Amino acid sequence: MTSDAPSNGEGNAMKCISAAVPLGLLLLGMAVLFPLTAAAIELYSFQGEGGQIYYTNVPGPGHRKINPHVLRMRAKKKASVPRRTGMGPAAEQLEYDEAILSACEHFAVDPHLVRAVIKAESNFDPGARSPKGAIGLMQLMPNTAREMGVSDPLNPVENIFGGVGYLSQLLNSLNGDLPLALAAYNAGPQRVMNYNGIPPFRETRNYIERVLDYYEHFKGKDSL
């Protein structure tokens, strides 16, 4: 989230949603008005085949409502803060895998995608800061960090959980449209609404292409 365009922490209020807006963008507008933050979203757990526990925001038979704050805290306890080795981004990416996998399990996001976003945003530098104020591995803007319940965006585990939760929110709001969700992550959901699609910012378009390239790379290799 280091775009020259407005950040995802800006413009989180929308005055109206046109009835002509495509379904994905309509859902995004609802997310802008009523953010699916850790404090607001309703989560349910249920047991699948083989005893595997799954999480969803859809109620149903056998679905047990859970407290998302408790869920996040449990996951954080499992994913300890990685130790900096000074061995470079590839080695550090492996150190963050536990937190990435834990967050992706709970927010239903592909870990390869999260690695691609982190690579594009911060090159796996947990202390990265952008001129616009984005912080940490997933370059969370302060407002976004607060909305996602992140108290310390420089803490790699908190940053990953906040960023993955926010990315999941965008993907859900946009019916899984990955390029559009990445555009919203980079330029802000309000800009996606305003332009009824991917904003015409060169940095945003380059960002989408870069993340997708990294995504394909991570899907085919263990590290970058």
Residue 45, strand partner residues: 55, 64
CA 6 – CA 49 distance, rounded (Å): 44
Q: 3-class DSSP state for residue 129? A: strand
CA 55 – CA 53 distance, rounded (Å): 7
CA 211 – CA 224 distance, rounded (Å): 13
Q: Are 11 and 191 in contact (CB under 8 A)?
A: yes
Task: Of 125, 111, 106, 93, give the one whose Cα is nearest residue 223.
Answer: 93
Alpha carbons within 13 A on the beta-carbon side of 217: 15
The verdict on whether 42 is a catalytic residue reads no
Q: Which of 92, 121, 147, 158 is catalytic?
A: 121
Structure tokens at 92: 């550090």
Residues annotated as catalytic are 121
